[in-house]
Structure 1
Amino acid sequence: MPTYFSPGIYVEEVPSGARPIGPVGTSTAAFVGVAPDRTAHLGEALAVNNWTDFLRLYADGDQLESTPLARAVFGFLDNGGTRCWVVNVGEGGSISGTGRQRGGLSLLEAVDEISILAAPGFHDPVSHEALLSMAERTRTMVAICDPAPDIDDVSTLTRVATPGSGRPPKPSDADADAAPAAGGGSGSGSGSGPVSHRPRQSDFGALYYPWLRVRDPLSGELVLTPPSGHLAGIWARTDALRGVHKAPANEPVRGAVDLGHLVTRAEHDVLNPKGVNVIRYFPGEGIRVWGARTLAAEASEWRYLNVRRLSIAIEQAIANGTRWMVFEPNDYTLWRSIRRDVGAFLTRVWRDGALLGRTPEEAFFVKCDEETNPADVRDAGMVVAHIGIAVVKPAEFVVFKLSQWAGGTETETIGG
């Protein structure tokens, strides 16, 4: 209590005790690749908020050759992205970084706001492994892997490649002009390349096929380009319009005028169970994303992108919103505060439609009491809370039952 020395009325500001947990951003992307100006800002990770920023930082010169990185950043911004980080690895560089100085992906580990990771132009097994390892190590982002540019045999996308089966691409290998036109190509690879193109299983990665034909923002020519940049923009657009709990699928790909391969229904039936998200053309609707799976196993609870990304967002929000509890007395008051603050946050998430349940009690639970914090746990300086959520999964398959009766035809939805 404060000390008062004379009679009078004193006003004190008393904190309410409640500390609301706010949502975290989920739409900031990071791109690692070769910039049009190969020597621009090497060894740096810089934020880009619009196309003008990118041109000023990475394409400030005459007669610059466009790259997959430039097309990815443009596609990201064109499809709804608003902010991304860019790392230029330069001519012949590696996204993993070499030498004693940090470079490539390692430059992004200090940037907490990144939630989407891609390396347009790097589609070999070594690069895929670097992307997935980075996402799994941080547990705060999901990596978008690009397929090789010359795949017509989709079965190669169902077989997991190993890091030793391919070589990191040179800048010329990453040029979109080397990819075949829609429906064309020369088989399942370039002859010397690997015959397996699917990255390994991962709860923190996604793969999209095929490449997109777009108009290059620098040259104005129609070229094929990796899909990761455009898909990162679609993720950001879906997050802004519907929320991170909405699967980023059945969305048009802005800027895409054609596909590197027109996937058939039979081919799609092969790719979807293997976690390959297909980009398809539908007459009257255009080019759309027609998959929302991670590279996780078929039976994994993390096989859907929106489930994985929503869980990351909730984990990050709770971690940031409960940081004030560190060094607080580990007693009943703290446990009650955890239940109150986390419960209020998850109630808002449930009201947004991200959790499954008719009531908050059906959608989540928060347990923090003597049972989760016995004496040995408290003596170790820890406070433990058990939090469970029921995440809404996307309706990938909608099944209709048709039956004939005397009055006509009856349609009944029986599954989803």
Structure 2
Amino acid sequence: MAEYLSPGVYVEEFESGSKPLDGVSTSTAGFIGLAQRGAVEGLPLLITSPADFQRNFGSYLSESAFGSYRYLAYAVDQFFTNGGSRCYVMRVAPSDAQLATNVGSVSEKLSITTKNPGAWGNLVKVVITDASKAKTQIYEVTDKRYRVKNAGGFYAGDVVAFNAGGETQYNRIVSVQGNVIELADELSGNVVDEALLPTKVLSTCEFSLHVIYSDEVESFEKVSLNPEAPTYVEKVAGRSNLVNVRALVTSTDATHPFDSVAGIGTEGKVEFVLAGGTDGSVSGIAASDFMGEDRGPGRRTGIQAFIDNDVVSIMAIPGVTDANVQLSLVAHCENLGSRFAILDIPREKTKVADVMTHRNLFDSSYCALYNPWLSVFDPLDKRNIFVPPSGTIAGIYSRSDNSRGVQKAPANEVLRGVVGLDVQYNKGEQDILNPAGVNLIRSFTGQGIRVWGARTASSNTLWKYVNVRRLFIFLEESIKGGTNWVVFEPNNEQLWARVQRTIDAFLTRIWRDGALMGSSAGEAFYIDIGRSTMTQDDIDNGRLICVIGVAPVKPAEFVVFRITQKTGSE
């Protein structure tokens, strides 16, 4: 309650109606797989185009080196080709992949390693040049204390050079107070210079570090080996996206930092290329690499890295058909309840019995299986290759959501950029696989290649359609995110009425968009909140319980036209 202490007119705002509830995005995909470069722990990276992927994760991997683990880049390409607009990517690297380092090049003074493993690091070039960030002239001397014109840019611990008449004296700063600099040793000779154009100058000693990879250039100007200075090389280079830099020495004497790093007598510049980076091998890849480790917030790997991401709603690990990995992905989706997994079937499993063997490993409404693999053009080998369908299907999910809505089953959709199928299944084979929850991709004369199934891998018939499960994910996440304001509000009739109005307005809009069955909003959904859903014990324990029922639309999977012969007498 506001306090009114002084006479006057007070104008106050208050909220009395329902708060608008926005629907969450359902078209953002998450991919996990091997790539040339990119972080292997931390947060998944947002990618908005194939070019963006190549800038951050590199190009395509060769079949000879990585075999069936190389399909991440192709899946992301297919995702965008088929209508996807944004995705998050998490890189996995073999355990035997190595970082590139500067072994043998200034490595006794600076340790420079690539941010993440891979042979890409062997193309990183480092250039170190002599530099100085500040200079001034000396006005007055008192023992080892020097009053200067401007002490800006001078810090305790910095190495400085005093130049007069072509001679240079090196020293080290002990302290800086105002415009008075105290040095470790007294400068020799007459150092005072009050001329307008000084010939005697006291300047700081630093070096610049340039890191070059392809068309990426990172420049860290005028850094030092002084840990107390804001220009300390580890602090400044810490923002690099390419390398980690660690100083192995500090400026404890009056040696120029460039000379400390490059070696005394080196002319103003030293450059070298990092070496020793390797991509690893297929033998270094294990299921645990994809399943990931929970090392705490910001340090998770593999699937676990997506725990920190609450935007993704579609998940895939392209081409990885190891049962342990796929079951872990499904469990991840079930535990969070906010995303749906698209699973590939091993390419060699083409016969109906073999496909069923793999399908029988799963029973979840949070995943769907698709077969067969797809023929697409490979820019690396300049020929058509077969790739897993998960990336393409994720793009179709996104395209269907954006054009029709999440309530539309992502099926009977044309696959873009696909020129053929690894296996041509017929109707008889689909008669067996479709009821079992395997969604086939088929080619129809004059209609192109289409997704011809929309079932989850669940044995519960209430959740057998992909669009029904994804619609409920959409509703649940939208209501959860849009009603956060309710927490800690007084749990009374006024709050219950506001909550009901908020959800009613949201579900009415969803019904009008065609996502719910019924000729009226009353037939499409109901909302029950109040004394009928809560006991006094619930209220006393801080629980507000709202029961919501919705009637989702189901796809017309079997279209039947019954035709009979009409006789003239009828």
TM-score normalised by L of structure 1: 0.84
Partner Cα separation in structure 2 for residue 98 and residue 338 of structure 1 = 39
Partner Cα separation in structure 2 for residue 62 and residue 326 of structure 1 = 49
8 Å CA contact 1:148–1:197 kept in 2: the answer is no
Which amino acid in the other structure matches residue 92 of structure 2?
Answer: V
1:112 is paired with a residue whose SS is coil
8 Å CA contact 1:276–1:291 kept in 2: the answer is yes
**Corresponding residue for residue 361 of structure 1:** 522
Alpha-carbon RMSD across the aligned residues, in angstroms, is 2.1
Match of 2:305 among 102, 107, 114: 107
Q: 1:62 to 1:340 in 2, by over 3 A?
A: closer
| Correspondence 1:43 to 2:41 | yes
**Corresponding residue for residue 195 of structure 2:** none
- Percent of residue pairs identical: 43
**Corresponding residue for residue 80 of structure 1:** 83
**Corresponding residue for residue 487 of structure 2:** 326
Partner Cα separation in structure 1 for residue 533 and residue 379 of structure 2 = 56
**Corresponding residue for residue 96 of structure 1:** 291
Q: 1:99 to 1:324 in 2, by over 3 A?
A: closer
Q: 1:207-250, CA deviations, whole angstroms, 9 ceiling, x for partnerless residues? A: 00000000124443210000000000000000000000000000
1:400 is paired with a residue whose SS is coil
TM-score normalised by L of structure 2: 0.62
**Corresponding residue for residue 123 of structure 1:** 321
Q: 1:17 to 1:2 in 2, by over 3 A?
A: farther
Which amino acid in the other structure matches residue 348 of structure 1?
Answer: R
Aligned pairs for 1:292-303 (under 5 A) are 292-297=454-459, 299-303=460-464
Q: 1:327-360, CA deviations, whole angstroms, 9 ceiling, x for partnerless residues? A: 0111111111111111110000000000000000
Q: 1:407 to 1:86 in 2, by over 3 A?
A: farther
Structure 1 residue 379 displacement after superposition: 1.3
**Corresponding residue for residue 438 of structure 2:** 276
2:475 is paired with a residue whose SS is helix
**Corresponding residue for residue 56 of structure 1:** 55
Q: 1:345 to 1:378 in 2, by over 3 A?
A: same
Q: How many residues align?
A: 369
Which amino acid in the other structure matches residue 278 of structure 1?
Answer: L
**Corresponding residue for residue 344 of structure 2:** 146
8 Å CA contact 1:147–1:198 kept in 2: the answer is no
| Correspondence 1:237 to 2:432 | no
**Corresponding residue for residue 543 of structure 2:** 382
Partner Cα separation in structure 2 for residue 304 and residue 3 of structure 1 = 60
Aligned pairs for 1:4-43 (under 5 A) are 5-6=6-7, 10-35=10-35, 37=36, 39-43=37-41
Partner Cα separation in structure 1 for residue 34 and residue 347 of structure 2 = 17
Higher Rg of the two aligned structures: 2
**Corresponding residue for residue 4 of structure 2:** 3
Q: Greater shift after overlay, 65-74 or 347-356?
A: 65-74
Partner Cα separation in structure 1 for residue 388 and residue 62 of structure 2 = 23
Q: 1:62 to 1:206 in 2, by over 3 A?
A: closer
Partner Cα separation in structure 2 for residue 69 and residue 81 of structure 1 = 15
Q: Provide structure 2 residue ranges, at least 5 long, that are not aligned to the other structure.
A: 95-284
Match of 2:534 among 363, 369, 373: 373
8 Å CA contact 1:71–1:217 kept in 2: the answer is no
Partner Cα separation in structure 2 for residue 70 and residue 62 of structure 1 = 8
Partner Cα separation in structure 2 for residue 108 and residue 290 of structure 1 = 30
Which amino acid in the other structure matches residue 27 of structure 1?
Answer: S
Partner Cα separation in structure 2 for residue 282 and residue 61 of structure 1 = 31
**Corresponding residue for residue 189 of structure 1:** none
**Corresponding residue for residue 414 of structure 1:** none
Partner Cα separation in structure 2 for residue 53 and residue 312 of structure 1 = 29
Q: 1:75 to 1:198 in 2, by over 3 A?
A: farther
